[in-house]
Amino acid sequence: MSDGTAPGSKPRVSATVVPAFDQIAVTVLPGSDLVARYPGVLLVARAADSEAGDQALQAVLDLVEISGEAGGRAPGYRVSRSVTSLIEADGVPNDLVLVAATDDGLAVVLAGAGSVTVPERGWRLDCKRGRVETFEIDWPPAPLLLALGPQAGEERPSASRPVRPTRPFDLRAGVVPGGGATLATAAASLASPTGTVLLASGGLPAPLPPPGSSRAAASPRPPVVAPRRFDQIFGVGPSGPRRDALPLPAAKQFDPPASGALVRGYRCRDGHHNDPRALFCAACGIRMAESTGVFVEGRRPPLGLLVFDNGASFSLDANYLLGREPGIDERVQTGQFRPLVLFDTTGVISRRHAEIRLEDWDVFLVDCGSANGTLVAAREASQWSALVPGQPIRMLPGMQVRIGERDFVFESLQAAP
């Protein structure tokens, strides 16, 4: 602040030209901290000395990258706002300096010992109030030094020399070790002896097409359109009446869902309805021999699970119709069968491919005359067999089924007869 024209006070320098941030050369100064450059953003942060610190630092970098992407050509305000709130919440990193392009200058975030200086003019900005501070400055007329530590600028010989983007220290994009960084001015960049155009990854937004030209022809991207349907959720109440609270847990729950079909079987001592062939209760494991032996009608509990190769599991408490578009079947529309959609990328699954039917205490599998068939294999079998279309087979526990590229297994909950 030696000349009293601190950049933070936003003096208007009439000759300042706002250059494209990503075309400006960045020189990395030697050191063991961390220098990162993303489109529209340059930062120096204190390297962490613990795993926790690494994670916190990574969170800051992720956020910078995300906010930068979202901010387009001038992400400065977004990035500075997001990073400031994260540092305030997390308290890390201890020392950081970040500059990011705005429409007419730079947004600056300083934490701890982070500082920006313009050594040629004697300008300096430090974090003096609180944990983290933000500033808005004009494009500096001479190279801007980002450093950590009060004496960093003075200590480094490179800071007192005219800055040139000398290989291998020119940073175009990414995260590298370093002790500080210098952002050249537009003039310095154009004077680069290599003549290379230095671009951050992601580059600049494409130049606007000349007036009158077809924008669509220049852009290969599909047009961005609103979703087919969209409905506000937050702030809009549900349509139906207010629902009752869920019941508190009952001491014992005997009855399977009321949707279960009525079937005849034995009840165990604790009242669970069981397959008459079962030796042990499927629900509580108690020996059925200890039951009263009364053959009664009751709601059928789920007979097992279909476990798919991706982990999705379906309860066998109803009939299912499997296929690419089972919803077209009338029995699905009338509720006799539940639809189970199989995603297909190979085109070998039929719209209605196979059925799973529950009859009394058994589960049957039927191929619906599918174009490419249904394969089954008993537990531990080494070969697949194709089903004869229309002929049901009784599924045994552990039986594997293959339809197109999808596999599933029948897992029984009942003790094996």
Partner 1 sequence: MTGDPVGRRSGGLTTEHPVPQHIGDYQVLRLLGHGNNGRVHLARPPQRLGGTEEFMAVKVFNGPCPDRVYDRVVDELRVVSSLASPYLTRVFEAGLVADSLFYAMEYVQLGSLAAPRRPLRQNEVLLAVSHAASAAHALHEAGTTHGAITPQNVLIGSQHALLSDVGLGRYLHPGLTMTGLAASDAVEYLDPLVLRGDPPSRASDVWSIGATLHHALAGVGLYGELSHHEPLLAIRAVMSADPVPANHLSPATAEVVQACLAPIDHRLPTAEAVAQRLTDLASQVTS
Site for partner 1 in 211-250 (CB under 8 A): 221-222, 224-240, 242-250
| 93 vs 165, beta carbon nearer partner 1 | 93
β-partners of residue 163 are none
Between CA 63 and CA 358 the distance in angstroms is 52
Cα 85-90-94 angle, rounded to 5 deg: 100
Contacts of 389 (CB under 8 A, 6+ apart): 367, 368, 369, 370, 373
The Cβ of residue 8 has, within 10 Å, a number of other Cβ atoms equal to 19
Query: How far from 173 is each of 41, 138, 140, 201, 315, CA to CA, in Å?
Result: 10, 23, 21, 6, 51
Using CB under 8 A, which residues numbered 269 to 298 contact partner 1?
A: 283
| C-beta of 275 vs 317, nearer to partner 1 | 317
Among residues 1, 47, 59, 191, the one that binds partner 1 under rule CB under 8 A? 59
DSSP string for residues in 46-89: PPPSSHHHHHHHHHHHHHHHHHHHHHTT--HHHHHHHHHHHHHH
Nearest to partner 1 of 38, 139 (CB atom): 38
- Nearest CA among 99, 123, 120 for reference residue 109: 99
Distance of closest approach, residue 413 Cβ to partner 1, in angstroms: 5
Cβ neighbours of 81 (radius 10 Å): 14
Cβ-based nearer residue to partner 1, 151 or 313: 313
Q: Does 144 bind partner 1 (CB under 8 A)?
A: no
Residues sharing a CB contact under 8 Å with residue 356, sequence separation 6 or more, in sequence order: 306, 316, 319, 320, 322, 340, 363, 364, 365, 395
Decide if 267 contacts 296 (C-beta within 8 A).
yes
Kindly tell me which of 141 and 256 has the beta carbon lying closer to partner 1. Answer: 256
Count of residues near partner 1 by CB under 8 A: 91
Asked if residue 382 binds partner 1 (CB under 8 A), the reply is yes
| Residue (92 or 184) nearer to partner 1, CB | 92
* Residue from 30, 162, 327, 369 in contact with partner 1 (CB under 8 A): 327
Site string for partner 1, 346-375 (x = CB under 8 A): x----------------------------x
Amino acid at the residue 277: R
The least distance separating partner 1 from the CB of residue 167, rounded to whole angstroms, comes to 31
Closest to 93 in 3D by CA, of 40, 149, 55 = 55
Kindly tell me which of 113 and 283 has the beta carbon lying closer to partner 1.
Answer: 283
Query: Which of 404, 408, 330 is CA-nearest to residue 363?
Result: 408
> Residue 295's beta-bridge partner residues?
266
Please pick, from the candidates 8, 105, 301, 326, the single residue that binds partner 1 as defined by CB under 8 A. Answer: 301
Least separation in angstroms between CB 136 and partner 1: 19
**Minimum CB distance to partner 1 smaller for 3 or for 88:** 88
The reply on whether position 340 binds partner 1 by CB under 8 A is: yes
Name the residue nearer to partner 1 (CB basis): 79 or 144.
79
Q: Which of 256, 271, 276, 392 binds partner 1 (CB under 8 A)?
A: 256
Residues present in the chain in total = 417
Quick one: 144 or 317, whose CB is closer to partner 1?
317
Q: How far is the CB of 359 from partner 1 (least distance, A)?
A: 17
The DSSP annotation for 247-289 comes to PPPPS---PPPTTSPEEEEEE-TT--EE-TT-SB-TTT--BGG
CB of 248 to partner 1, least distance (A): 6
CA-closest candidate to residue 338, choices 375, 301, 306: 306
- Using CB under 8 A, pick the residue from 162, 209, 257, 369 that binds partner 1: 257
- Identity of the residue, 1 or 377, whose beta carbon is nearer to partner 1 in the bound complex: 377
Q: Could you identify the residue written with the tokens 């999808």?
A: 406
Per-residue binder mask for partner 1 (CB under 8 A), 2-41, x = binder = ----------------------------------------
Min dist CB 170 to partner 1, Å, is: 27
Residues 77-116 that bind partner 1 (CB under 8 A): 78, 82, 85-86, 89-90, 92
Q: Is 334 in the site for partner 1 (CB under 8 A)?
A: no
Q: Is 168 in the site for partner 1 (CB under 8 A)?
A: no
| CB-CB contact of 127 with 150 (8 Å) | no
